[in-house]
Amino acid sequence: MFGSTWATAKPLPTLRSSPMTETTPLRSYGRRKGKPLSARKERLLGALLPLLRLNLKNPPPARLTDLFDVPVKEIWLEIGFGSGEHLLWQAEHHKDVGFIGCEPFVNGLASLLGAVEDQDIKTIRVHDGDAREVLAWLPDRSVGRIFLLFPDPWPKKRQLKRRLLSPGTIRELARALRPDGEFRFASDSGDYAAEALLLAGQNGALAWTAERAADWRERPPHWPETRYERKALVEGRKAIYLSFKRA
C-alpha cells in the first residue's frame, strides 16, 4: 500500500504548500530559558542532567540499546519534547523501549528531569541542544520511531528558513530510522504540514500511511495530547497528524 499512498490517500484540501525550507542549519528554536527555576530544578540540572545527557563527542555504542543500564529492545527519539508529557507517556506505556529526548528549553528539560527522578525512570536519555546534532550522531537504521510534535512553525515568511524540517533533516531522519520504522509529525500549521508531506515525498524513503481523511484529521489514541496541541485547539486552530513509514 505504501508505494501508492501519495496517489491514493485523500488529499489535504485546506493546506497550501509553503516555500521550501533552506538547508542552512540555522537555529530552529527560540528562547533557551523562561521564568527562574526552583531550587530543586536547579539541583536536577546540576546533578541529574549530566548523568542522562548524551555524550556526542564519543561515537555511539555498537548497540544503541547499550546507552541504557536496563534492558531495552529498541530506541525511539523525540525531537522537542517540551515539558515531557508525551515522552513520559510513551515511557510509561513502553517500558521495554529506550528513549532519547531532545529539548533545548531549560525549563521544559527541568520538568522532565523532575518526573524522571520522582518515577525512577531508567529508560530516558536527553540532549539539551539542537536535535540535528543527535540525528547526525545516530547510526544508520538504529531508531524505531521518531516523534516531531508541534514544532515551532516559524510562520512569517522571513522565518521559514528556521523550520527544523528541511531536505537535509528529512534525509537524516530517514537514514536513522530502521526499515519499517515510523516518523510521526503533528502541527497546527497547515503550511508546515504541507511542507512535511512535500519533503517526505521528495525524499522517497518515507511513505505517508494515511488512507482516509480521518487518519490525518483525528489524533490516534496512541498519540497522547500535548499542552501545545491543547493550546492550539483552545485558540481555534486544528491539528494535523501525519505518520510516515520507512521503506
Per-residue pLDDT of the chain in tens (247 residues, 90 and over written 9): 333 343 344 454 343 333 333 444 544 444 555 578 899 999 999 999 999 999 999 999 999 999 999 999 999 999 999 999 999 999 999 999 999 999 998 999 999 999 999 999 999 999 999 999 999 999 999 999 999 999 987 565 655 576 888 999 999 999 999 999 999 999 999 989 999 999 999 999 999 999 999 999 999 888 888 887 888 888 888 899 999 999 9
**95, part of any domain:** yes
Contact 181, 207 (CB under 8 A): no
**210, part of any domain:** yes
Predicted model pTM: 0.85
Contact 193, 185 (CB under 8 A): yes
Q: Which of 152, 180, 188, 191 is catalytic?
A: 152
Task: Give me the residues paired with residue 90 across strands.
Answer: none
Around Cβ 150, how many Cβ atoms within 10 Å? 21
**124, part of any domain:** yes
User: CATH number for the domain including 231?
Assistant: 3.40.50.150
**24, part of any domain:** no
Is there a catalytic annotation at residue 152?
Answer: yes
**How many domains, the chain?**
1
Around Cβ 160, how many Cβ atoms within 10 Å? 18
Q: Parallel, antiparallel, or unpaired: how do β-strands 240-246 and 177-187 relate?
A: antiparallel
Residue 166 belongs to domain spanning: 71-246
Q: C-alpha dihedral over 103, 105, 111, 117, to 10 degrees?
A: 50
